[in-house]
Every structure is written in structure tokens, then in C-alpha cells.
Amino acid sequence: HVQLVESGGGSVQPGGSLRLSCVASGYRTRPSCMAWFRQAPGKERQAVAQINTDGSSSYVGSLKDRFTISKDSDKEILYLQMNNLKPGDSGMYYCAAAWSVDDWARPNEYSYWGQGTQVTVS
């Protein structure tokens, strides 16, 4: 069965950096789209960035200025490099996988989710 396991979260001061990882396994066909979402307490899950099989990527708003999504297809690992972190970036970060999406920023487009990794910026 499909498994997504995130790691790399932690506590950092504003301006710091973190790199999140998501190890994916258990599928026969590689997901066409993998994404990072985040969720702050009391708020809805929010899209951060996505990457397609061909390596093309998209970001929400101005996050592209500070965040970079990438993947190691050989190792089936998804990354999110986060620089110049701000307190508003705090939350649980999830990776997600989908084999067909119409709107990559909608959480319900994704079939599989990881358990999340906590990021705290303060």
C-alpha cells in the first residue's frame, strides 16, 4: 500500500531554514503529482507547492520566493526547501500524492497523505 513519510520539521527562529523530506513507497505507477500542504491550528489545510512527473512545479502566491519543491525520482523522495522562514509559516506540513488532478491546490484531489511534520518558527 502507498505510504508517505515526512521528516525534517523542527523549531527555528525567524529567518532560518528547514528542508522537509517525504519518502514515498508502495505504488506501482509513480504519482503524476506530488504536493506539500500545511495546516496551522484552527485553520484549513493550505496548498504550498506541487511538482509533476516531468519536474514542472507550481507554488501558491509568493511562497516561490522562499520555498523550493524538488524530488529525487530515483529514491522516490520529495523535498521542500524553506528559507527565510516566518512565524506565519508555522504549522503541520503534509506531503500528498495524486495520479490525476484538476486543481492541484485542492486537498481533496489527493488520494494519499503522510502523517505530517511540525514546523515552528518563533
51-80 pLDDT per residue, tens: 999 999 999 999 999 999 999 988 899 999
The pair phi, psi for residue 53, each rounded to 5°, is: -60, -35
Give the per-residue pLDDT at 73.
87
Residue 61 identity? G
Closest by CA to 15, choosing from 101, 121, 88, is 121
Stretches in the chain below the pLDDT threshold 70: none
Identify any residues that bridge with 18 across adjacent strands, giving them in sequence order: 82
